[in-house]
Structures are given as structure tokens and as C-alpha cells.
């Protein structure tokens, strides 16, 4: 009889094992986006902080020299068209683009962080890179070639773009929550520029009129795709420079999102139910063996 009971026990355990494997796969599937998003968000926060720290000890003279050089570059931008970052590409081999990559970059580096954008109202701080290639937008925000470098000054309009709706990173997911009057901070070589949001709009990709520089104004526009997962339009958040006493970038980056916490709680609940069922079945099997 004991051997028959053992055989029956092994047979009855097979569906349990299959169910357990399926639950484990389900939990991993549930938690993978959480882990990926946390890792990417941590990378973005680390890159932004590294950039800020690297310019803390720069002398005022060196900082002003960099700024003046890039403001001079901005003055020569009139002949370069602004292109939608998701529909248009520029030749990386062109002389104009190579000159662009040399701005706000140490010699010999084309892929270094050029600036950092911080938006306290949505707890977002992200590094900004040159250009809008796919690999650039996968690791942070992209500065749109043809727009002013983010160094401030009259007759300038810096345009910065980023993804939203990615499963593995937060990026500009909350840009739609930014409201008129919110502040946007830009740290470029240790100089913090403050912009106040003036308006937002949703446009078609080819509608770029509002991205042009305006006489005597110091402007900034942040762009992402909309609607979520459809991406037929562009959300534009426009801001204008205001004078403040800010000398350091507000640290507002958040590595955690509400949906991440809900997924973790759901995974823990599933595991708790599975463990409870397993312990109850195990207890029942022991009682049957005694009988």
C-alpha cells in the first residue's frame, strides 16, 4: 500500500509542478519591465549626476569660454533646417554635422552628455545627447540638430526630444502632465538656466513653425510623441527663459513609478497565494499518509 500511495502522490504532484512553473514564468514576465525600467532610470540618473559633478570645479573663466563659443555657433544656425527627429535623419558624415558634434564636447568624443534637463513638477532629470538617432534616444534625451545649443542667449530656441511609452524606461512619460508656469532647468557645463513653461500644443510632425527662434527671446521646447502607443502627433512643451538665483540643478529624478510598485505587489500576492496552496496541499498529503 505505501508504494501505491507514493505512486499516486507523484502522479497528483505533476499538475502542481506544471502550475508552479507557469506561475514562476508569469511572475518573471510581470517583474521584467519593472527591473528593466529601474535599471534604465538608474542609468539616466547616474549619467545626469555624473555630468553635473564633472563641471562643479570648472573655473568661471573656462565655463564662460565654452558658453561664448557655443553662443557664437548658435548665431550661425540660420541656414540649418529643423527636422522632425522621428521622420528625418541627417548625414553624420557632413561637415556641418561634424561641427555640431564638436560643440559642448571634449575633443575626440561624439557621444558624451551635452547637458542635463530637470523638470521638478514631474520628478524628471535626464541627460541630453547630441542628435536624435535611435541609439541616442534609447539612452537619454536628444538635442535636435538645427536648433540652438542649450546655452541660452537672445534669438535662441533649443529643442530637446525624448521617448515616451517605452516599457523599459520612464523618459518623457509624464511630459503631458507639465503645466503652464512649471519650471524647467537646464544645466550646461555647470551653468543652470531656468525656463518657465508658457504653453503646450499638439501638432503634426511636419508642423515646425513654433520651433524657430524668435527675435530677442531665449526659448526652450521639449518634444515627445503622442498619443500613447500611436505616435501620430507631437506634444510640444514651450518655455521661455526667466532670471533666477539658481546655481545648482534641482535633484528631482525618481527611479520608481507607481505602476512598478503595483506590479511588485501583484507578484508578491501571487507568490503568497501559491505558497499558501502548496503548504495546504502538503499538510493534506501528510494527513493522508498517516491515515
Domains and CATH numbers, the chain: 60-255 (2.40.260.10)
Dump pLDDT digits (tens) for 226-267: 998 889 999 999 999 998 866 677 666 666 667 667 777 888
Q: Whole-model pTM?
A: 0.79
Average pLDDT over residues 156-177: 91
Residue 192 has pLDDT above 50, yes or no: yes
Q: Can you say whether the dihedral through the CA atoms of 161, 165, 171, 175 is positive or negative?
A: positive
What pLDDT digit, counting tens, does each position of 25-75 carry?
777 777 777 777 788 888 888 999 999 998 888 898 999 999 999 999 999
Kindly list the distances between the CA atom of residue 114 and the CA atoms of 10, 134, 136, 173, in Å, as whole numbers in the listed order: 63, 17, 12, 22
**Residues 6 or more apart in contact with residue 93 via CB below 8 angstroms:** none
pLDDT at 129: 96
Least Cα distance to 116 among 219, 218, 252 occurs for: 252
The whole-number pLDDT of residue 105 equals 83
Instruction: Give the pLDDT score at 234.
Output: 96
3-state helix, strand, coil in the chain (%, to 5): 45, 20, 35
Q: What is the pLDDT at residue 107?
A: 54
Per-residue confidence (pLDDT) for residue 236, from 0 to 100:
98
Average pLDDT along the chain: 83
pLDDT at residue 180 in the model? 98
Nearest to 238 by CA among 288, 186, 274, 184: 184
Residue 183 pairs with which residues in a beta bridge? 196
Cβ 172 vs Cβ 224: under 8 Å: yes
Amino acid at each position: 500500500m505505501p508504494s501505491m500511495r507514493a505512486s499516486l502522490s507523484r502522479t497528483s504532484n505533476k499538475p502542481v509542478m506544471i502550475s508552479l512553473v507557469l506561475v514562476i514564468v508569469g511572475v518573471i514576465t510581470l517583474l521584467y519591465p519593472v527591473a528593466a525600467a529601474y535599471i534604465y532610470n538608474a542609468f539616466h540618473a547616474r549619467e545626469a549626476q555624473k555630468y553635473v559633478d564633472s563641471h562643479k570645479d570648472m573655473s568661471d573663466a573656462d565655463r564662460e569660454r565654452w558658453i561664448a563659443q557655443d553662443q557664437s555657433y548658435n548665431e550661425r544656425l540660420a541656414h540649418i533646417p529643423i527636422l522632425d527627429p522621428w521622420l528625418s535623419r541627417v548625414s553624420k558624415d557632413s561637415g556641418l554635422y561634424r561641427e555640431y558634434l564638436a560643440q559642448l564636447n571634449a575633443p575626440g568624443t561624439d557621444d558624451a552628455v551635452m547637458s542635463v534637463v530637470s523638470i521638478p513638477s514631474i520628478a524628471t532629470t535626464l541627460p541630453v545627447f547630441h542628435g536624435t538617432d535611435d541609439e541616442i534616444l534609447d539612452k537619454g534625451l536628444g538635442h535636435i540638430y538645427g536648433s540652438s545649443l542649450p546655452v541660452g542667449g537672445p534669438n535662441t530656441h533649443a529643442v530637446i526630444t525624448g521617448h515616451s511609452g517605452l516599457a523599459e524606461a520612464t523618459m518623457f512619460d509624464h511630459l503631458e502632465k507639465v503645466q503652464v508656469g512649471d519650471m524647467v532647468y537646464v544645466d550646461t557645463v555647470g551653468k543652470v538656466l531656468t525656463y518657465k513653461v508658457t504653453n503646450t500644443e499638439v501638432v503634426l510632425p511636419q508642423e515646425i513653425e513654433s520651433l524657430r527662434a524668435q527675435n530677442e527671446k531665449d526659448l526652450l521646447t521639449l518634444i515627445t510623441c503622442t498619443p500613447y502607443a500611436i505616435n501620430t502627433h507631437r506634444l510640444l512643451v514651450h518655455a521661455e527663459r526667466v532670471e533666477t538665483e539658481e546655481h545648482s540643478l534641482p535633484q528631482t529624478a525618481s527611479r520608481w513609478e507607481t505602476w512598478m510598485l503595483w506590479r511588485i505587489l501583484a507578484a508578491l500576492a501571487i507568490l503568497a497565494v501559491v505558497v499558501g496552496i502548496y503548504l495546504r496541499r502538503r499538510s493534506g498529503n501528510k494527513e493522508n499518509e498517516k491515515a
